[in-house]
Amino acid sequence: MSRTSGGAAEAPIRDPAKTPRSGLIGSVVLLCALLLPAPLFAEDSRLDAAIGKALFERPWVPAPSSTRANDGLGPLFDARSCSACHPGGAGRGAAALDAEGRPDGLGMVLSLFRADGAGDPVYGHRLETMTLPGVPAEGTFAVAVENGRRIPRVEAPGYGPLDAATHVSLRTAPDLRGRGKLERVDDAAILALEDLDDRNKDGVRGRARRLAHAEGGSTVGRFGWKASHANLASQASEAFALDLGLSTPLRMEPWGDCTQAQAACRSAPHGRDGEGEPEISDAIVQRIVAYLRGLKAPASEPDRRGAKLFAATGCAACHRPALPMRGGGKVALYTDVLLHEMGEGLADPAGVPGAGAGEWRTAPLAGLSGALARGTGLLHDGRAADVAEAVRWHGGEASGARARFEALGARERRALLDYVSSL
């Protein structure tokens, strides 16, 4: 993927499906996704998952294209495919920085938000670093490291400075493997883990993020760094809108994250088949969801000594090894999906409605060994190179667990670190 000096990607209006190999595969995949009815049940067929995998990996192209079903990319975007930010079969995105502090690869983005939950009035919810020809680029960002913290700054802003009330925070693309099974954990099972009054006096409270429905009632958030999504379809639709600039039935804006202040972006060609139709149909979204639901979390070798230390230090109070699923069985991801106050060291510049600045959903640890092997960095912004460094950033409700970790003898500490690093 090439970029211009201003950070924009060169994106010629060309359909890669015209090449013999990609054309055949792309046409078959999209034909199946469009013609077969969307899956109706949680247990999707192998065909649905296979089509979803191909869609997850395929690069989307700008409109207009000869194959209308696979166009509509942008006009502003951060990647051309889902797998670009989630490599290795939907793994964690890269968070490395080059010598000048710029992202070295895809997988880390700059989130823009205000205290009321809105995005920047000009730039929206995300600083997209790529653009199509004829649409001004939003700019790029670089990261300074001060006392271990990652402090982002916008470079060459294409539409002027951010609004004074806009906050910025880094986010890395999370590992998606095995996470789909969280949809099969009942709200009641998650709510039972809340301890708002710290009844057991361990310093760990935790609360579920309740996502309100327009028609009344709420659902517990399970996905995203701040538990902002209740299901995979919602999470995937946000990724289509912000990362790829593609509309879905849940996010109908064909211009993605472009605001009214970005006139060229709003008026650029879009990939809709008809007025009122999204660029990405529900059939395509559901097949990507089927693929994600079918992914298994990487297996790890059980280590009884490490598991005992994990529980004794209090790590398992939040990183619960398993949660019960409807109909039996457990999902072993090492999370309670609750929001926990993690202290000033990990806090965003501000909170948003439903989640405070220092509140984070307990990040699943399953698959952490792969992230360490690839050097993607840990925590929401990739600042920690290893488990020990990540633990030392834990504050707030995790202060007790951190203190017990630091009090361990050298051999026990190594055993615990080896256990967590193997997950």
For the entire predicted model, the pTM comes to 0.90
352 and 290 within one domain: no
Do 316 and 195 reside in the same domain of the chain?
Answer: yes
The total number of structural domains in the chain stands at 3
Q: Final residue of a domain: which of 172, 196, 221?
A: 172
Name residues whose C-beta falls within 8 Å of residue 40's C-beta, 6 or more positions apart in sequence: none
Statement to judge: residues 74 and 87 lie in one domain: yes
- Per-residue pLDDT tens for 145-188? 999 999 999 999 999 999 999 999 999 999 999 999 999 999 99
37-66 pLDDT per residue, tens:
655 444 458 899 999 999 999 999 999 886
Residues 403 and 376 in one domain: yes
Domain that holds residue 352: 186-211+297-421
The verdict on 325 and 414 lying in the same domain is yes
404 and 323 co-located in one domain: yes
207 and 352 within one domain? yes
Same domain, 353 and 391: yes
Could you say which of 172, 199, 220 is where a domain stops?
172
Chosen domain end from 267, 294, 321: 294
Tell me if 225 is assigned to some domain. Answer: no
Q: Are residues 285 and 405 in the same domain?
A: no
For residue 223, tell me if it sits in a domain: no
Are both 377 and 340 inside the same structural domain? yes
Confirm whether 101 is domain-assigned: no
319 and 191 in a common domain:
yes
Q: Tell me the C-alpha distance between 242 and 48, whole Å.
A: 25
Q: Is the pLDDT of residue 334 over 70?
A: yes
